[in-house]
Structure 1
Amino acid sequence: MTELIPNFFAGQWQTGSAAGTPLLDPVLGTELVRVDATGLDLAAGFAFAREQGGAALRALNYRERAAMLAAAVKVLQANRDAYYEIATANSGTVKNDSAVDIDGAIFTLGTYAKLGETLGERHHLLDSEATRLGKDPLFQSQHVLVPTRGVALFINAFNFPAWGLWEKAAPALLSGVPVIVKPATATAWLTQRMVKDVVDAGILPSGALSVICGGSAGLMDALQAFDVVSFTGSAETAAVIRSHPAVAQRFVRVNIEADSVNSALLLPDAAPGSEAFDLLVKEVVREMTVKSGQKCTAIRRIFVPEASYDAAAQAIAARLAKTTVGNPRNEAVRMGALVNRAQLTSVRQGLDYLKQQAEMLHDGATHALVDADPAMACCVGPALLGVSDVDGADRVHDTEVFGPVATLLPYRDTTHALSLVRRGQGSLVASLYGSDSASLGATALELADSHGRVHVISPDVGQLHTGHGNVMPQSLHGGPGRAGGGEELGGLRALGFYHRRSAVQASTAVLATLQPPQAA
């Protein structure tokens, strides 16, 4: 039997008491390692993180905690090669796709290390200016932010085992809140290895960072009133979390990132052959194929003017046809595997479901697998669908197929396009393509209420923009409505989730003591 990798919990490495769940290579089908969390004393482990890890972190100021993040960055950078090997074996990703996860994680952690340095030697933050409470300015109110005296539980998705850990853990640890991460079982190996490297380096106080690999049973039960939980995954699981007594009765703070039927919108001024049109085509293909479409921010719906529909279909299909699919170890391959057989089945079923209201514009089945056995490998070619009855085809607006699948939809005018985009009921991101700055700006504001991020791509930033699906730590990640209603990242805004806001009402002399120390 393969190695049963341990959990780091209650300040020590612990293996589960059961045989464990095997993690498989999604291309070769070979067993890699096993994970299990059976028998862990969850109540004791959560208490250890709260009491030991939390106290030690809060004793440090923001600058000291930022220095720990910077030290963790160096450790992770030194072990990048091992992370890439694990990603190839366990996630089936080509090198460029692994970089989105691994290097994106390290970059995000480094960004928060730099942001934390700017906060200096404080142990709390001020929220806006003090406000007088009456005619006499002597008695005022000052809102402060202090670290919550709880633990941050992260229940993460399978598609970003590296970035999903550090984009949450970086602002939590910087805030002074200990972290317990429960990675998705299918790809838990990379998360566990990163935690192990940081723990073994002795960078963080005992109890500050824990990892539990295996089943999630009992984790929510262990939460107490001042803990927080952040979840990334399906809407169904999100509903279970929201209804759990920890949230519904003990009022544990919760952040949710769920399903998202993201959009790309070509504005009317961007005719076929224009630079903006070409930028749309390029970005759509990239978003469909990076990580085999297994990104919560990937483009799922593509809206173009009716007159541009045929040209867009042909241009996107032509680019997709050049995508080589198969074993990520082969340098000729540009798109690797889905994460496991369950996801392969889900994508195939989802594609069949959408095809009942859509036609196939580019069939992923035409892609012969490179250096991979179709009977074993969890690989599927990119599929572009098209819909003529955009108003009646409800499935493409309601269903996210979590793989290399997108649907092209024609619209009559801008008002029609906006109404169709909003049928996604709230998304993480929409991207706009055009050349007219006024139209782009106005459209961005029209969509801002229903999207966590609006990514505007015009010819002047064609070589500069960071990508529709790339989540940058400086910008908000999350979305309203069906996207979960959560907010992550956004620079220092992310720290708000891990702090408690309180109004201190006192004399101006007392409030003066709350001001940050003067820089030397």
Structure 2
Amino acid sequence: MTELLANHVAGRWQHGTGPGTELRDPVLGTALVRVDATGLNLPEAFAFAREQGGAALRAATYRERAAMLGAVAKVLQAHRDSYYDIATANSGTVKTDSAVDIDGGIFTLGQYAKWGDALGDVRVLRDGDAVRLGKEPVFQSQHLQVPRPGVALCINAFNFPAWGLWEKAAPALLSGMPVIVKPGTSTAWLTQRMVQDVVNAGVLPAGALSIIAGSSAGLMDALQPFDVVSFTGSAETAGVVRAHPAVAQRSVRANIEADSLNAALLMADAAPGSAAFDLLVREVVREMTVKSGQKCTAIRRILVPSTLYAAVAEAVSAQLASVVVGNPRNPEVRMGSLVSRAQFDGVQAGIAALAAHTDVLHDGRTCPLVDADPAVAACVGPVLLGARDADRASIVHDVEVFGPVATLLPYNDLPHALAVAQRGQGSLVTSLYGADEKALAQAAIALAASNGRVHVVTPAVATAHTGHGNVMPMSLHGGPGRAGGGAELGGLRALDFYHQRSAVQASPEVLAALGC
């Protein structure tokens, strides 16, 4: 029988008492490890994190907590090679895709360590300047940001077992809130190993970081009013989170990142052969194939001038045809697998649903896999669909296929393009490609209200831009509407979620003595 991974709660490693869920290699189909949380005392786990881990973190200054993050990053860097091995085995990713997850998480930790150090040796943050409450300046109001005296429950998706942990945990720990992470079950091995390495290194106070690697049943029942929950996953599960009594009745603060039908928009000035045209094609292919399209920020809809529909279809299809799919252990393979056969079946069903209302412009599923058995491996070649009428093809604005799939859509003019993009009902990101700075700026403003991030690519930033789907800790990650209405990262803005804003009304002398 495969190894049963331990959970770390209440300051100690504990195994579940059930048979557990077996994690498998999505390419080879072999069993790897098991995870289980049956029988854990969740109220004890949350109380220990809240009382022991939280108290220890809040006793430290921001600079001291930043140093803890830096130490965590060093621990992870020392074990980095083993994480790549786990990612290949459990997520089926090629090395460059694993780097997005693993190195991206370490980079994010380093950034918050740097930003936190600059906050200094204080335990409370001033929020703006003091303002007088009357005609005379003898009584004033000073807004503060103070750490919430609770626990941060981080419920993560399967596609980023490393980065998904640290992009939430870094600002939470810096804010003085202990973290309990519940990773996506199918790829929980990498998250569990990272937490194990950090806990064993002793660089965080006891109770500051916990992991529940098995079932999430009952997790939210243990939440109390000053706790927070940060969720990444499907809109269906997000609805369950929002409706839970902890959120609906006890006012537990919730951050949601859900489904997102992101778009890439080619401006009318980007003719075939232009730098902007080539940049869109390159980015579409990259976003369709990185992590086999299993990214919440991936491009799902490609909006192009109707006169360029055929040219874009040909250019994207030509590049997709060169993508080698199969076993990530083979150096010739550029795109690995989906995370499981269940995900494989879901993507195939989603493609069939979209294809009933669109044309198949390129079908990479017809290409043979390299070093992988198609009857076993969860590999799906990239599929480019197209709809000649972007308004009538409503399904492409409503259904997200979480895999290497995108749909090409024509538009008549820029107002039409913006209207089509906004049919996503709220997205994490839309990217724009062109050379007319004024037109791009106007389009970015028009799209800002329906997107968490607008990524503008001109020839001037061809080698400098960070990528449509690459989430950088300096910028906001989240989006309105369908995308969940949440907000993560964005530099020190991420700390807002883990702090309580309060106004202290007092004399200037008292306000000066607040120690911040």
TM-score, length of structure 2 as denominator length: 1.00
Q: Which runs of 4+ in 1 moved over 2 A?
A: none
**In the alignment, what sits opposite 2:62?**
62
Alignment of 1:364-443 (within 5 A): 364-443=364-443
**In the alignment, what sits opposite 1:39?**
39
Structure 1 residue identity aligned to 2:352: D
Pairwise CA distance, 1:492: 0.2
**In the alignment, what sits opposite 2:126?**
126
Unpaired segments ≥5 residues, structure 1: none
The answer on 1:279 being equivalent to 2:287 is no
Find the aligned partners of 2:338 and 2:479 in 1 and give their Cα distance: 25
**In the alignment, what sits opposite 1:296?**
296
Find the aligned partners of 1:45 and 1:73 in 2 and give their Cα distance: 25
**In the alignment, what sits opposite 1:5?**
5
Structure 2 residue identity aligned to 1:75: V
Pairwise CA distance, 1:142: 0.6
The answer on 1:351 being equivalent to 2:336 is no
Find the aligned partners of 1:15 and 1:364 in 2 and give their Cα distance: 42
**In the alignment, what sits opposite 2:197?**
197
**In the alignment, what sits opposite 2:474?**
474
* 1:249-296 per-position Cα deviation (integer Å, ceiling 9, x unaligned): 001000000000000000111111100000000000000000000000
**In the alignment, what sits opposite 1:152?**
152
**In the alignment, what sits opposite 1:486?**
486
Structure 2 residue identity aligned to 1:310: A
Find the aligned partners of 2:20 and 2:240 in 1 and give their Cα distance: 24
* 1:122-169 per-position Cα deviation (integer Å, ceiling 9, x unaligned): 101111111111101111111100000000000000000000000000
**In the alignment, what sits opposite 2:460?**
460
* 1:440-479 per-position Cα deviation (integer Å, ceiling 9, x unaligned): 1111010000000000000000000000000000000000
**In the alignment, what sits opposite 1:255?**
255
Find the aligned partners of 1:31 and 1:73 in 2 and give their Cα distance: 30
Matched residue of 2:278: which SS?
A: helix
**In the alignment, what sits opposite 1:91?**
91
Structure 2 residue identity aligned to 1:437: E
Pairwise CA distance, 1:514: 2.6
Matched residue of 2:130: which SS?
A: strand
Structure 2 residue identity aligned to 1:139: F
Structure 2 residue identity aligned to 1:312: V
Pairwise CA distance, 1:348: 0.4
**In the alignment, what sits opposite 1:309?**
309
The 8 Å contact of residues 300 and 406 in structure 2, kept in 1 or not, is answered as: yes
The 8 Å contact of residues 7 and 37 in structure 2, kept in 1 or not, is answered as: yes
Matched residue of 1:256: which SS?
A: strand
Find the aligned partners of 2:429 and 2:237 in 1 and give their Cα distance: 21
Find the aligned partners of 2:365 and 2:12 in 1 and give their Cα distance: 48
- Aligned residue-pair number: 516
**In the alignment, what sits opposite 1:143?**
143
Alignment of 1:178-257 (within 5 A): 178-257=178-257
Pairwise CA distance, 1:356: 1.2
Pairwise CA distance, 1:193: 0.3
Find the aligned partners of 2:125 and 2:434 in 1 and give their Cα distance: 41
Structure 1 residue identity aligned to 2:411: Y
Find the aligned partners of 2:352 and 2:20 in 1 and give their Cα distance: 34
Alignment of 1:69-80 (within 5 A): 69-80=69-80
Matched residue of 1:440: which SS?
A: helix
Matched residue of 2:157: which SS?
A: coil
* 1:181-202 per-position Cα deviation (integer Å, ceiling 9, x unaligned): 0001000000000000000000
Find the aligned partners of 1:270 and 1:440 in 2 and give their Cα distance: 12
Pairwise CA distance, 1:515: 5.3
Find the aligned partners of 2:304 and 2:183 in 1 and give their Cα distance: 38
Pairwise CA distance, 1:512: 1.1
Pairwise CA distance, 1:390: 1.0
**In the alignment, what sits opposite 1:107?**
107
Find the aligned partners of 2:303 and 2:514 in 1 and give their Cα distance: 52
Matched residue of 1:466: which SS?
A: coil
Matched residue of 1:128: which SS?
A: coil
Structure 2 residue identity aligned to 1:421: A
* 1:183-241 per-position Cα deviation (integer Å, ceiling 9, x unaligned): 01000000000000000000000000000011000000000000000000000000000
Find the aligned partners of 2:100 and 2:363 in 1 and give their Cα distance: 26
Find the aligned partners of 1:24 and 1:142 in 2 and give their Cα distance: 54
Pairwise CA distance, 1:439: 0.8
Matched residue of 2:146: which SS?
A: strand
Find the aligned partners of 2:63 and 2:153 in 1 and give their Cα distance: 24
Pairwise CA distance, 1:429: 0.2
Find the aligned partners of 1:515 and 1:223 in 2 and give their Cα distance: 31
**In the alignment, what sits opposite 1:513?**
513
Find the aligned partners of 2:265 and 2:119 in 1 and give their Cα distance: 39
* 1:307-346 per-position Cα deviation (integer Å, ceiling 9, x unaligned): 1110000000000000000000000000000000111011
Structure 1 residue identity aligned to 2:381: G
Structure 2 residue identity aligned to 1:404: P
Structure 2 residue identity aligned to 1:457: V
Identity %: 72
Matched residue of 1:64: which SS?
A: helix
**In the alignment, what sits opposite 2:449?**
449
* 1:326-374 per-position Cα deviation (integer Å, ceiling 9, x unaligned): 0000000000000001110110000000011100000122221000000
TM-score, length of structure 1 as denominator length: 0.99
Find the aligned partners of 1:8 and 1:24 in 2 and give their Cα distance: 22
Find the aligned partners of 1:314 and 1:138 in 2 and give their Cα distance: 71
Matched residue of 2:374: which SS?
A: coil
Find the aligned partners of 1:365 and 1:501 in 2 and give their Cα distance: 52
Over aligned residues, Cα RMSD in angstroms? 0.5
Structure 2 residue identity aligned to 1:262: N
Matched residue of 1:297: which SS?
A: coil
Structure 2 residue identity aligned to 1:328: P
The 8 Å contact of residues 132 and 141 in structure 2, kept in 1 or not, is answered as: yes
Matched residue of 2:128: which SS?
A: strand
**In the alignment, what sits opposite 2:321?**
321
Structure 2 residue identity aligned to 1:100: V
Find the aligned partners of 1:365 and 1:179 in 2 and give their Cα distance: 41
Find the aligned partners of 2:206 and 2:18 in 1 and give their Cα distance: 26
Find the aligned partners of 1:286 and 1:168 in 2 and give their Cα distance: 25
The 8 Å contact of residues 124 and 515 in structure 2, kept in 1 or not, is answered as: no
